[in-house]
Amino acid sequence: MDTSPPRQVILQDWGLVGYLEAWDRQTALFQEIIRRKTGPQKSNETGPYHLIFCEHRPVVTLGRSGKENHLLINEELLKLKGIEFYKINRGGDITYHGPGQTVMYPILDMEHFFTDVHRYIRSLENIVIRTLAHFELEAFRNPKYTGVWLQSRQDRQPKKICAIGVHMSRWVTLHGLAFNIHTDLSPFEYIIPCGIRDPDKGVTSLHLETDIAIDPLQIQSMLAGFFETEFQCTLNIQSVEG
């Protein structure tokens, strides 16, 4: 029997936040965990770790394995459209973030959970798949690509509803998933989403697939609940000062 104390994860909702600010803030939390486990006063504490929810102002991000030609318009024109652009250190290719999209960033030391990158990504996918099942949507994984897919009711073609891109250092996680809820999908036309050139594999949102009003706080609550189950931890809600 496992008699160790439950893993403690602090949950915060950062609201609508610029991408660079959120990247800096999550990086500071990430580096603090690494400092705790590698510094002169090494600690074997099992937390606290962090689960961050937010939405981003319009931004295109390019991951480490991404190709710049997957951005279909130049950066200057992107800027004129009010969309920022950053090259970042997560895995994966190119994607878009914007209002109406729920972004979830787990910042965990996986040595206190499980040390398996593929299982970690599958766990994130599973959280979204279980959330979609609540809306009677049968989501699935694609063996070629990370993320969560479903057969769109719009044209019966497979479409991605959630993108996943992560980074790990010393088994500490950074970045996470972006789940389209009632997102304006038109900016995806400026990129080749996730580098997938197949014209039959587009993007969709929960609103388009259900045609009902979606409460983002309900989505957060469901994701958080499934996160606790998937990672066998206890979430402690913490308000954001300021």
Active site residue 233: no
Distance CA 47, CA 61 (A): 29
End-to-end CA distance of the chain: 43
Task: Give counts: helices (H), strands (E), the chain.
Answer: 5, 12
Distance CA 101, CA 36 (A): 32
Distance CA 125, CA 108 (A): 16
Q: Which two tokens stand for residue 202?
A: 């587009």
Distance CA 141, CA 145 (A): 8
Nearest one of 77, 38, 31, 36 to 187, comparing CA atoms: 77
* Active-site choice (54, 162, 194, 233): 194
* CA-derived radius of gyration, the chain: 18
Q: Pinpoint the alpha helices (H) of 48-113.
A: 75-80
Phi-psi region of 99 (alpha: psi -120 to 50; beta: other; left: phi over 0): beta
Active-site residue set: 194
